[in-house]
Amino acid sequence: MVTGSAGFIGGHVAEALRAAGHDVVGLDLRTGADVRDPAALDALLPGVEVVVHQAARVGLGVDVADLPGYASVNVYGTAVLLAAMARHEIGRLVLASSMVVYGEGHYECAAHGHVRPGPRAVPDLERGSFEPLCPRCGAALACAPIGEDARPDPRNAYATTKLAQEHLAANWARETGGSAAALRYHNVYGPRMPRDTPYAGVAAIFRSELEAGRAPKVFEDGRQLRDFVHVRDVARANLAAMSAPVRPGELRAWNIASGAPHTVGEMADTLAAARGGPAPQVTGDYRLGDVRHIVASPERARAELGFRAEVEFGAGMKEFAWS
């Protein structure tokens, strides 16, 4: 069963599973089935061997008024799903997690080695000082790829609820002897990406602006590093995770990323060039829930899942610009 099967990522996952010869049962709020509804789950789960849980409220959100919605769908919905899986003795879960559980990425200080900077201060952001500094000496930091064993440090409502999903899945695994594979997606983009909503990803927002003939508005100075991974690669990762090496009673996590980071400004430039402009506008604006740099080490996924991203950034963005 794929939850969120009519959504952006879930739809691609369901298609990839069917193409690989699997029988797929879909559950999605758009088609009248809610992951928070035990009766709907009890009607769909008999005969299911693996649950691929993609259903979630996504995006950074608008303000604190979004907190109940994120908690209801992402936390409560996952708890209801896991309880139903236990009732139906389903022992395998593939969970759509996210790189947002890390907060800021991996940083190195020349004097103090690996450090984890705290949330950026509003006065610094207001004066255009966007780079986090060493929390011990205030020196500049070098960003490096983050691994799965890094301490989580969620910085917004979405991030907090994604980490809660991992904790609930780990609880379920320990208590039932099930196996949970958590895929920490980095910045996913591609065809059928949600658009024209404050909860859409930045790539979709930029594309919508370009389609309307407006310059994409790039926050901060545009030098924020991200790892953009194509949705078809993410679907392939879900296929691999169905048979991932996870021991009974445990949850194991993998970064799902390309391993080739790019700046947000570079992504905006690439989309604008593909569509023939207009050129992006760097605004200096900021959002408190954003982090500065978050890039991944994909080595564990390569070694344990046999997963390697195949869609190159330039080609993928060119396709996405017109999809």
Amino acid type, 174: R
Q: What is the CATH number of the domain that holds 12?
A: 3.40.50.720
Tokens 């590093």 locate to 225
Distance of CA 98 to the CA centre of its chain: 3
Question: Is residue 78 one of the residues assigned to a domain?
Answer: yes
User: In three state form, how does the secondary structure of 230-244 look?
Assistant: EHHHHHHHHHHHCCC
Residues 35/3, Cβ–Cβ less than 8 Å: yes
Cβ 58 vs Cβ 16: under 8 Å: no
Low-confidence residues of the chain: pLDDT under 70:
196-200
Give how many domains the chain has, as a whole number.
1
Would you state the structure tokens that stand for residue 196, as one six-digit string? 């024209």
Domain membership of residue 209 (yes or no) is yes
The answer to whether residue 77 is domain-embedded is yes
What is the residue-wise DSSP string for 29-87?
Answer: GGGT--TT-HHHHHHH-TT---EEE-----S--SSGGGHHHHIIIIIIHHHHHHHHHHH
Residue 140 lies in a domain: no
Please name which of 59, 95, 91 lies closest in space to residue 78, comparing C-alpha atoms: 95
> Is 217 inside a domain boundary?
yes
Q: Judge whether 259 lies within some domain.
A: yes
pLDDT at 201: 83
The boundaries of the domain holding residue 98 are 2-106+145-321
Whether 95 is covered by a domain: the verdict is: yes
Question: First and final CA of the chain: distance in angstroms?
Answer: 27
Asked if 301 and 254 count as a contact pair (C-beta separation under 8 A), the reply is yes
Alpha helices in 213-305 (DSSP H): 231-241, 264-275, 299-305
Residue 197: per-residue pLDDT? 67
Position 68 in a domain: yes
